[in-house]
Amino acid sequence: MTTKMLDMFKRPDDPPEYYHLYGIPAGTAFALYSVGSMSGKFPELDTAASTLAGLLCIGGIAGLASQNTARLGAVSGQAGVALGVASTLGHLSPSIGTTAGIGALMGVGALAGHRIGHAVEPTSLPQTVAAFHSLVGLAASAAAVGDYLNTPDTTQLDGVHLASIYLATVIGSLTFTGSLVAFGKLDGRLPSAPLNLSSRDQINMGLGAATLGAGTFPEINWICKHNSLEF
């Protein structure tokens, strides 16, 4: 969809572009990483690949700061995300069944994303971005909740892990609902005036306190377990 938006800026006298030539170094990097990872002789290759993926993503965002590097930025971002996915798969080294499962899930997601991205009109791109962003918020909080449920003994989690689970759940859920509201307002389904309930301050403060309070439950559990207190 990014390329769709950037194509709106194309002028008829623009010089021809050969961005597919960037596929050669990208493919080479993939091939080198796959061979090196599967040979098993390079234990730190996964970290290097993820660093490269991070650099490509940052370069992608930086490229979109100006018009003449915008398309290069889009290509770089795509390469970065793809390499990130590949490096995680290499690091996990999942079994055949798990790999097939992951492949099927990503295939379904890719198909849905491709269909929606193609069907969207250029004038409704901002609200589509907002709708997509709500999905990623839901995904983040689902992953965090799943991580918490997956640990057999949650009192063994250290503070950093607990804090990251809490933050991911809160920020992910906030993103999910907030982006859905943004989508509604951008699309015209919701009125664009802010919802001015008379007790909105108290409602917001109450919800904020409840969010902070809910985060203390695992901490209290942890503190009690580690100090041998029983609830």
Binding site for other proteins (CB under 8 A): 1-2, 5-6, 9, 57-58, 60-62, 64-67, 70, 73-74, 77-78, 80-81, 84-85, 88-89, 92, 94, 98, 101-102, 105-106, 108-110, 112-114, 116-117, 125-126, 128-129, 132-133, 135-136, 138-140, 142-147, 149-150, 152, 158-160
Long-range contacts, 32-36 (Cβ 8 Å, 24+) = 33/83, 33/86, 33/87, 33/90, 34/86, 34/90
For other proteins, the closer CB: 209 or 219:
219
Q: Which helix (H) or strand (E) holds 99?
A: helix 96-119
For other proteins, the closer CB: 152 or 195:
152
Provide the minimum distance between the beta carbon of 196 and other proteins in the complex, in angstroms, as a whole number: 27
Provide the minimum distance between the beta carbon of 203 and other proteins in the complex, in angstroms, as a whole number: 29
For other proteins, the closer CB: 124 or 204:
124
Provide the minimum distance between the beta carbon of 47 and other proteins in the complex, in angstroms, as a whole number: 11
Beta-carbon count within 10 A of 163 CB: 14
Provide the minimum distance between the beta carbon of 144 and other proteins in the complex, in angstroms, as a whole number: 8
For other proteins, the closer CB: 126 or 188:
126
Backbone angles phi, psi at 192, to 5 degrees: -80, -5
Residue whose entry in the numeric block shows the structure tokens 């250290």: 158
Provide the minimum distance between the beta carbon of 199 and other proteins in the complex, in angstroms, as a whole number: 33
Q: C-alpha distances in angstroms, 118 versus 114, 122, 186? A: 6, 10, 19
Residue whose entry in the numeric block shows the structure tokens 């989508």: 183
Provide the minimum distance between the beta carbon of 216 and other proteins in the complex, in angstroms, as a whole number: 18
Residue 100 in tokens: 């097939």
- Torsional class of 190: left (φ above 0), alpha (ψ -120 to 50), beta (otherwise): beta
Provide the minimum distance between the beta carbon of 200 and other proteins in the complex, in angstroms, as a whole number: 27
Residue 81 in tokens: 């995300």
For other proteins, the closer CB: 29 or 74:
74
For other proteins, the closer CB: 115 or 200:
115
For other proteins, the closer CB: 108 or 205:
108
Backbone angles phi, psi at 193, to 5 degrees: -75, 145
Rounded to whole angstroms, the Cα distance separating 139 from 183 reads 17
